[in-house]
Structure 1
């Protein structure tokens, strides 16, 4: 569309509502509102003895777009847990927080603060402004461990160590599943530069399943209603009289807004199903939209990790109960919270491997990761190991090492596992044309 604004999309939104996202609890949470200038959180900085291991976690909060307050909140809980058990190799873990406000200028400010504070890593963070923060981190040699996976930079920067396969893996996996279960597929996505990347990814899965490419419906990412895109998507999903199609909304924080319009338009197309990726939908969204009568009933959803009720999350839930029981920002079903947990698991493993007498700096952490260090995450992911050029370098994702996703489905209003274990989408992604 000529002249349309070329803005970025958040694409994978916060899993809790805006009201919940901005809720604070006590003085601790007041500081954790994450303004760029917010200092060290009381109770997290080290006491007497060796210098603490200083890291940073950033994420947007109190914005009109995607908010991820649970990620920094989980980082604080993880630090309290580690420090209550003697730290890492006897050293306290100190977490600094920053709010990028979903803005490139503030993302750069967060990165410059990380450099000034001499952190050893940025861990478990969310920002869509990779072009703003990566050059600063790269110039200082600071590793970026466990970003959310929403930017190409996270899968191309030599200082990025992603723990999941990001949107590429989710959409490729979803496309592959929908190729088996749906007729025509319609993708409803933001009319932005970031949104322009989505059709290629879902089409790689559809084409691997021998199906035609998805119909591409563009929509404004900041609209207050989506009646016209809903109608257009439904019409294109029913072009094959032999088999009903599926609609895939990928509109970030506006996915729920879209579904309000879609529910009404769908009354004339009851046979059409939906599919989406975790981050656009979780159990709280399903409950809020009607449970078993929700428009998500029967929807396939791809995730990077096991379903939230899986026992492999028990350790994370225990830490949340013990260290952040009153912090309503932390939802254990939030993919951002889960990603931050895994990212800190990686950090702790790397620092422990450096030994009690080892020098813990950005350089030593980065060198350890680059030297083939392997990290197990309690089967929440495959064993993680980063190499300079990994298996997907030929399609533009040299740092993408976790190519496995899980398939979930909404049954009787509940999000449950739809398959056994992980699905590897390496071959599917290899069929995608690099953007």
Structure 2
């Protein structure tokens, strides 16, 4: 099963389903798993905690083998998977429960990598009085806390400004940020809200660096921003979708568009893709018949790193999770980019963001 969000007016990510279907099509075209074709179930959480919990219960009730590449904003049903022994593989790592539950295996840095990377990116841009503009969801507030921790590592305090999900006008918050004398803004809001937030900040007179998750600077949003897009900073925990000189990225873009020509190509779909890359590689290492237990045992026994095309080496044995509070993040990753002449271009390689933040807590 893959969990996505489609039927919600404030936030919809159909690219998650496209990424999952493209990966499963490739698995089945190659003979499936142990000669058996893989059946993909999609579940739409509608960005509702009750609906999301129902998706997790459905996975258990239907006896599914794994939940892969899912987008979870609440995590209220992960304990159901844990009780049933069903692995949660390559989730997007947006909420605390994904980062601590022993059946969860984020394939990349998740929120810790993304927002430590954002702190590093803004710090490198000269921010000394930063603000994080965060939505009122659990995932956005976790993101704000991680960005705050990143700046704390270099001795800088962060102010958090919270906004409701789906708010149409950000002018009041933008004016507050300008009046505060802020010299660096990190965004922890829906990717759909990024154009409105950036325009509000620039129209209020803010001229300093703004950093957002890379999904907020997809082609559609860059076009909508026009001249306001130039110089914006982006962070991802997988290779930027514009870095098609990387073979894994080129494969992702090509196969996504082959399945749906007008699909949005962004970091969110890339996360799901990366989660399935991990799933496929782990399945290839399994011995005996496929089962949830066999998959879980294999995931827990990865000593020889799996090289993920968009996120580097992944292993679970012989590695100490770099953030003690988030013990399921084995592969802490981040990559930065900048909008230059209307295109998001990588300005770093995928790597550990802590290496860019001097000092420790």
How far apart, CA to CA, are the structure 2 residues paired with 1:229 and 1:163?
34
The count of residues paired between Structure 1 and Structure 2 equals 355
In 1, the alpha carbon distance for the partners of 2:331 and 2:203 equals: 38
User: Corresponding residue for 1:308?
Assistant: 241
Counterpart in the other structure of 2:118: 174
Q: Does residue 1:401 correspond to 2:330, yes or no? A: yes
Match of 1:319 among 255, 262, 272: 255
- Higher-Rg member (1/2): 1
Q: Indicate if the aligned counterparts of 2:130 and 2:186 stay in contact, CA closer than 8 A.
A: yes
Q: How far is 1:398 from its partner?
A: 0.4
Task: Report if the CA contact (8 A) 1:176-1:209 is conserved.
Answer: no
Per the TM alignment, residue 151 of structure 1 is displaced from its structure 2 partner at its CA by: 0.3
TM-score under structure 2 normalisation? 0.90
In structure 2, C-alpha distance between the alignment counterparts of 1:106 and 1:375, rounded to whole Å: 36
Q: Verify: 1:259 aligned to 2:188, yes or no.
A: no
Residue 280 of structure 1 aligns to a residue whose secondary structure is: helix
Q: Which runs of 5+ in 1 are unaligned?
A: 1-55, 239-244
Q: Given the alignment, which residue of 80, 86, 108 partners 1:136?
A: 80
In the other structure, the counterpart of 1:200 is: 145
Cα distance change on mapping 1:399 and 1:389 into 2, 3 Å: farther
Query: Corresponding residue for 2:158?
Result: 214
In structure 2, C-alpha distance between the alignment counterparts of 1:331 and 1:206, rounded to whole Å = 32
Q: Judge which range, 79-88 or 164-173, deviates more.
A: 79-88
Matched, 1:381 2:320: no
Distance 2:274 2:304 in 1: 13
Q: Are the counterparts in 2 of residues 370 and 388 from structure 1 also a CA contact under 8 Å?
A: no
Following superposition, the deviation at residue 347 of structure 1 comes to 1.5
Structure 2 distance, partners of 1:166, 1:284, is 23
Equivalent in 86, 93, 105 of residue 149 of structure 1: 93
The answer (yes or no) to whether the contact 2:333–2:351 under 8 Å persists in 1 is yes
- Are the equivalent residues in 2 in contact too, given 1:390–1:399 (CA < 8 A)? no
User: Quick one: distance in 1 between partners of 2:116 and 2:138?
Assistant: 19
Identify the residue that residue 185 of structure 2 maps to in structure 1: 247
**What's the CA shift string for 1:39-64, capped at 9, x where partnerless?**
xxxxxxxxxxxxxxxxx111111203
| SS of corresponding position for 2:134 | strand
Aligned residue number for residue 346 of structure 1:
278
Aligned residue number for residue 331 of structure 1? 264
Aligned CA distance change for structure 1 residues 232 and 162 (closer, same or farther; 3 Å): same
Q: Give the superposition deviation at 1:416.
A: 0.4
Instruction: State whether residues 342 and 377 of structure 1, in contact with CA within 8 Å, keep that contact through their aligned partners in structure 2.
Output: no
1:235-287 Cα deviation digits (max 9, x unpaired): 2235xxxxxx1222322243333233223212xx4x32312222333232112
Name the stretch that deviates more: 338-347 or 156-165: 338-347
1:103 aligns with 2:103: no
How much has 1:98 moved relative to structure 2? Answer: 0.9
Q: 1:393 to 1:321 in 2, by over 3 A?
A: closer
- In structure 2, relative to structure 1, the CA distance for the partners of 1:95 and 1:374 (3 Å cut) is farther
Query: SS of 2:334's equivalent?
Result: strand
1:230 CA displacement: 0.4
RMSD, matched Cα? 2.4
2:19 pairs with 74, 77, 85, which one? Answer: 74
Shift of 1:85: 2.7
- 2:116–2:354 contact (8 Å) kept in structure 1: no
**How far is 1:378 from its partner?**
4.6
- Over 3 Å counting, the alpha-carbon distance change for 1:188 and 1:156 in structure 2 is same
| Residues 1:287 and 2:223 aligned together | yes
Q: CA deviation at 1:177?
A: 2.5
Aligned to 2:172: 228
- SS of the residue corresponding to residue 398 of structure 1 reads coil
Whether the 8 Å CA contact 2:337–2:345 is kept in 1: the answer is: yes
- State the distance in 1 between where 2:214 and 2:176 align: 24
Q: Distance in 2 between matches of 1:336 and 1:289?
A: 20
1:77 and 1:115 map into 2 onto residues whose CA distance is 24
Query: Does the 8 Å CA contact 2:154/2:358 hold for their aligned counterparts?
Result: no
| Superposed displacement of residue 365, structure 1 | 0.3
What displacement does 1:390 show? 3.7
SS of the aligned residue for 2:16 comes to: helix
